[in-house]
Amino acid sequence: MIQQKVQVASEEPTVFAMATQQFNAAADKLGLNDGLRDVLGSCKREFTVNFPVKLDSGDIQVFTGHRVHHNVTRGPAKGGIRYHPNVTLDEVKALAMWMTWKCAVTNIPFGGGKGGVTCNPKSMSQGELERLTRRYATEISPLIGTVSDIPAPDVNTNGQTMAWIMDTISMHRGYTEPGIVTGKPISIGGTLGRTEATGRGVMLTAQEAAKHLGLSFEGARVVVQGYGNVGYWGAYLLQQLGCKVIAASDTRGAIYAEQGLDTEELLAHKTDSGSVAGFPGSDSITDAELLELPCEILVPAALEQQITGENAPKINTKIIVEGANGPTTPEADAIFYDRDIMVVPDILANAGGVVVSYFEWVQDIQRLFWEKDDVNERLESVMTRSFDQVLAASQEHKTDLRTAALLVAVERVADAVKIRGIYP
Give the angle subtended at the CA of 35 by the CAs of 30 and 37, to the nearest 5°.
45
- Helix, strand, coil % over all residues of the chain, rounded to 5: 45, 20, 35
For residue 154, the minimal CB distance to ligand GLU (Å) is 4
CA angle 243–215–390, rounded 5-degree value: 105
Find out whether 69 and 39 touch, Cβ atoms under 8 Å.
no
* Residue 154 touching ligand GLU (CB under 6 A): yes
By C-beta, is 182 or 225 nearer to ligand GLU? 182
Q: Could you say which of 118, 182, 249, 399 contacts ligand GLU (CB under 6 A)? A: 182
| Distance in angstroms (rounded) separating the CA atoms of residues 138 and 103 | 26
Sheet order of strands, 297-300 included: 283-285, 253-256, 244-250, 221-225, 297-300, 319-321, 342-344
Interface residue with ligand GLU, options 315, 354, 410, 413 (CB under 6 A): 354
Decide whether 112 or 330 has the Cβ nearer to ligand GLU. 112
Report phi then psi at 341, rounded to 5. -95, 125
357 binds ligand GLU (CB under 6 A): yes
Binding mask 332-351 for ligand GLU (x = CB under 6 A): ------------------x-
Q: Say if CB 337 and CB 400 are below 8 A apart.
A: yes
Question: Closest separation between CB of residue 359 and ligand GLU, Å?
Answer: 10
Least Cβ distance, residue 58 to ligand GLU (angstroms): 34
Active site residue 114: yes
Partnered with residue 81 across adjacent β-strands are: 115, 153
Least distance between ligand GLU and beta carbon 400 (Å): 21
- Residue 182 or residue 306: which is nearer to ligand GLU going by CB? 182
Nearer to ligand GLU, 78 or 270 (CB): 78
Residue 80 DSSP SS3: strand
Query: Is 307 or 348 the residue whose CB approaches ligand GLU more closely?
Result: 348
Active-site residue identified among 78, 93, 102, 114: 114
Interface size with ligand GLU, residues (CB under 6 A): 12
- Nearer to ligand GLU among residue 20 and residue 325 (C-beta): 325
Nearer to ligand GLU, 154 or 400 (CB): 154
Contact characters 68-107, ligand GLU, x per CB under 6 A: ----------xxx---------------------x-----
323 scored as a contact of ligand GLU (CB under 6 A): no
Helices (runs of H) and strands (runs of E) counted in the chain: 14, 12
CB 86 within 8 A of CB 76: no
> CA-CA-CA-CA torsion for 28, 113, 334, 311, nearest 10 degrees?
160
- Using CB atoms within 10 A of its CB, is residue 67 exposed (0-12), middle (13-18) or buried (19+)? buried
Residue 424: cis peptide before it, omega within 30 degrees of 0:
yes
The minimum distance between CB 98 and ligand GLU, in angstroms, equals: 7
Q: Which of 263, 282, 325, 329 binds ligand GLU (CB under 6 A)?
A: 325
Among 19, 136, 353, 413, binds ligand GLU (CB under 6 A): 353
Give catalytic residues, as residue numbers. Answer: 114
Q: What residues line the site for ligand GLU (CB under 6 A)? A: 78-80, 102, 152, 154, 182, 325, 350, 353-354, 357
